[in-house]
Chain A
């Protein structure tokens, strides 16, 4: 844990663009790396808040999406889902409920599946974001999971599909695709209104052997 600004990824890049405000880093000031016991003394020595930030100023946010760097000026409220769809133009990631209840917005953060609708974009800084657009190989050939969904007709309308596929890739990588029952349990965070569930399970079973699981 280093309290030095320059050790953060942001510190390495060029100064913030004009008109952009950096988020404040609390406790990144004079104190050492060791965390002393809390108490009046240490409290007095700690600057509470760096400077009074202005809520109207956009944040300067750097995101790495499918291997590409993006620099964005964002309202703090912006979710990762809205950045992908509205700012970066990657509309493969779908908005279903926007409340964490359907899984349509599933993306990978450093290879781990998460819900982009409940992730603030600024909180994805420094992590690798993978969306459905980033799964195919550079030569355009499909990821084994994408191919398996095609082979098994694992969708009807296709709205839930990008989320299903990313979730399925992670499910296999986590080692949670041992048998049908386990696949169903660990895929339960992805709802499919077309009820393509049996075909999704079949697709995952096919892809897991090709993925070497």
Chain B
């Protein structure tokens, strides 16, 4: 690990200012915030991230770590811990898909440490990215090539890829947020702004080193999830190499509003298969106004993966991803919703 200066930020302004002079993209900035540290320290230990200064934002937890609900929806402080949110009774009852994306992620030790803000910004598990002895990685070292394109790419993405990078976005929680049209409150050197979670991440395109639209010094302070008729009939299905403590090979976050046997609204986001949290609007459109039977679910899944591009070892992700979505939709349609 490269030596670094450790600082604690007691206020939001101080945190933003400390990182403001930083250049480059949010992830490349020489000043990095640390919350739970489960992504940052991991990547610093293996020399993938080499910040000169680490700013501890945990003193802000009291103010920016609360969970609150009202009739407009759910407000989650960005410094709330994953475990705390997963166990929250109103989250479990009214936004089950959110609780499930958190419950099924990592381990309880990690969930006790990790924050929601850090979770959204976790970085890919691509083995070539995580091992600096591979020279070719455009994400780590722009312009160097991509070792995964003709390497071991079994876990890589099939949606949203480019010829520069095919790394999978590894998180689970972001899929629930994207499906439910959540927004982020952001504070930074230029002031405050609000963006849709859908807008946070970027596809790799020709700049895989730029992962989000955050600029250095910007802090996510809260996540807002609007109430809607579909949040209760929602779930997360995660398929992986082992039953627990593993990243998704394919996953689906779905939320449905069904009335008189017909789908009034469907919200779908896919994980494990894409370079960013992937909203599947074509699949949603395919379901609207239909009865949710197996044929309808399959048509939706077909639409979701119509643009998939596979590589040598990951073609299985297309049928796996489709079946994951079909099962998630049928399971959600069968849920008994108590009012």
Contact = CB atoms under 8 A, between A and B. Distances in A.
Contacts of B276: none
Specify the main secondary structure of chain B where it touches its partner.
Answer: mixed
Interface in A35-69: 35-39, 42-43, 46, 48-49, 53, 55-56, 59
B63 interface: yes
Given A1-B10, A39-B191, A55 B4 contact: yes
B160 interface: no
B8 interface: yes
Interface in B48-97: 52, 54-56, 58-59, 62-63
Nearest to B192: A38
B307 interface: no
Contacts of B10: 1, 3, 25-28
Contacts of A77: 1, 3-4
A206 B6 CA distance: 44
A195 interface: no
A26 B7 contact: yes
A98 B174 CA distance: 26
Interface string B1-40: 1011111111111111110110000000000001011100
Contact of A46 (B13, B38, B192, B244): B13
B6 A48 contact: no
B313 interface: no
Give the interface size class of chain B: 35 or more
Contact of B6 (A49, A100, A122, A190): A122
Contacts of B3: 55-56, 75-77
B17 A43 contact: yes
A189 B192 contact: no
B58 A123 contact: yes
A24 B4 CA distance: 13
Interface string B141-184: 00000000000000000000000000000000000000000000
Interface string A95-133: 000111001001000001111001110110000000000
B113 A27 contact: no
B211 to A, nearest CB: 20
B204 interface: no
Given A26-B18, A35-B63, A118 B113 contact: yes
A18 B18 CA distance: 27
Contacts of A55: 3-5, 52
Contacts of A200: none
A76 B108 contact: no
A152 interface: no
Interface in A159-211: 167, 170-171, 174, 176, 184-186, 188-190
B5 A27 contact: no
Between A23, A42, A98, A114, the greatest number of chain B beta carbons within 10 A of the residue's beta carbon is seen for: A114
Given A31-B11, A176-B108, A188-B245, A76 B63 contact: no
B303 interface: no
A31 B13 contact: yes
Contacts of B7: 23-26, 49, 53
A103 B107 contact: yes
B133 interface: no
B11 A99 contact: no
B37 A120 contact: yes
Contact of A26 (B9, B34, B42): B9
Contacts of A115: 38, 109-110, 113
A47 B94 CA distance: 43
B108 A3 contact: no
Contacts of B4: 55, 76-77
Given A3-B10, A38-B16, A77-B4, 18 more contacts: A1-B11, A3-B11, A27-B13, A27-B14, A31-B11, A35-B11, A37-B192, A38-B12, A38-B188, A42-B13, A48-B20, A75-B3, A76-B6, A79-B41, A103-B109, A119-B41, A170-B108, A188-B243
30 contacts: A1-B62, A1-B63, A3-B11, A24-B7, A25-B7, A26-B7, A26-B8, A26-B9, A26-B10, A26-B17, A27-B9, A36-B13, A37-B192, A43-B16, A48-B21, A49-B7, A49-B17, A49-B18, A53-B7, A55-B52, A103-B107, A114-B112, A118-B38, A118-B42, A119-B37, A120-B37, A170-B108, A174-B108, A188-B107, A189-B108
Interface of B: 1, 3-18, 20-21, 34, 36-38, 41-42, 45-46, 52, 54-56, 58-59, 62-63, 106-110, 112-113, 187-192, 243-245
Interface of A: 1, 3, 23-28, 31, 35-39, 42-43, 46, 48-49, 53, 55-56, 59, 75-77, 79, 98-100, 103, 106, 112-115, 118-120, 122-123, 167, 170-171, 174, 176, 184-186, 188-190
